[in-house]
Structure 1
Amino acid sequence: MTTVAELLKLKDEQHRTPHTIGPDQMVIDAITLMKKENIGAVLVVQGGKVVGIVSERDYVRKMELEGRASAGTPVSEIMTHDVQTVTSQHTVQQCMNIMTNGRLRHLPVVDDEKLMGLLSIGDLVKEAIAEQRRLIEKMQEYIRGESY
């Protein structure tokens, strides 16, 4: 089973390093960054530690629907504070279980309190499909007598 460390190595250069923002920066900065980088969430980091995450969902629910101003609201007021993280040793299946049970779309990877990366549900689904494809190919080789 593929580990998070292996999965992070497979990510393209643009998405390997997670984008971050400080809790005191304005929401407009977060949504501008998300638009520029074509991403759905930004990790909130303070003193090198993940203290929250801001997603498009947070923006819609906590800004737009409440009529708040993006330019005058700090990220800390709308971010999700209790951020579930995983280590690089977790497997894809473990991460999918965490995301499914927690109804999460993004999962920060933290080793020894150091941010290593960010996984999206899309990253995990793509790898799960690839794992299934590899298993099917091995089974077909076995059936044909090509595998020892």
Structure 2
Amino acid sequence: MYKFLQQIVADYMTRAPSTVTRDMTMRELGELFEEEDFNAYPVTDGGQVLGIVSKFDYLSCFVFTPTRMIPRYRDLMQRRVADVMTSEFIYVVPETRLTRVLELMVKYRLRSMPVLNANQRLAGIISRKDVMRALQESVAVQS
């Protein structure tokens, strides 16, 4: 377990993660979620992270209430990622300890977080699966 306390994001993150653009349509995003089965994608423009779009954001397009009119399905599918993405998001840097990542994931119920470098450009993504792998490897070393 002590080995896990020393692990950092750079050792377990996915480098060059899949990303989407703010101009992508909901139809295209839905297809991408189906194909790759990721929970979220960083929304980028020239390497700069503009936000995060998750399956939750995608599904929120289809929530209707008495005060919200039901648009035509075709119109919903033409909406853009920029309309539903989360612009304020939690991120980490490659040097962040995995203990901090785990704390953030549990506290905010996050499945993944973008990893930004010193220039605020996308360096990778760290997921629950990555943290679980680090934990398992740390425990396996001690056994």
Q: TM-score, normalised by structure 1?
A: 0.77
Identity of aligned residues (%): 26
Q: Deviations over 1:94-127 (max 9, x none)?
A: 1111111122111101012121111111211221
Distance 1:48 1:123 in 2: 22
Q: Deviations over 1:66-106 (max 9, x none)?
A: 35644221111111111111010011111111111122111
Q: Deviations over 1:38-93 (max 9, x none)?
A: 32211111242111111112222x12223564422111111111111101001111
Instruction: Tell me what 1:86 maps to.
Output: 92
Letter in 1 for 2:122: L
Task: Decide which moves more: 68-77 or 35-44.
Answer: 68-77
Instruction: Tell me what 1:140 maps to.
Output: none
Provide structure 2 residue ranges, at least 5 long, that are not aligned to the other structure: 1-5, 65-69
Distance 2:30 2:49 in 1: 18
Which of 1 and 2 has greater Rg?
1
Instruction: Tell me what 1:118 maps to.
Output: 125
Instruction: Tell me what 2:9 maps to.
Output: 4
The structure richer in helix per residue is: 1
SS at 2:61's partner residue? helix
Q: TM-score, normalised by structure 2?
A: 0.80
Q: Which runs of 4+ in 1 moved over 3 A?
A: 66-70
Provide structure 1 residue ranges, at least 5 long, that are not aligned to the other structure: 138-148
Instruction: Tell me what 1:101 maps to.
Output: 107
Distance 1:90 1:116 in 2: 13
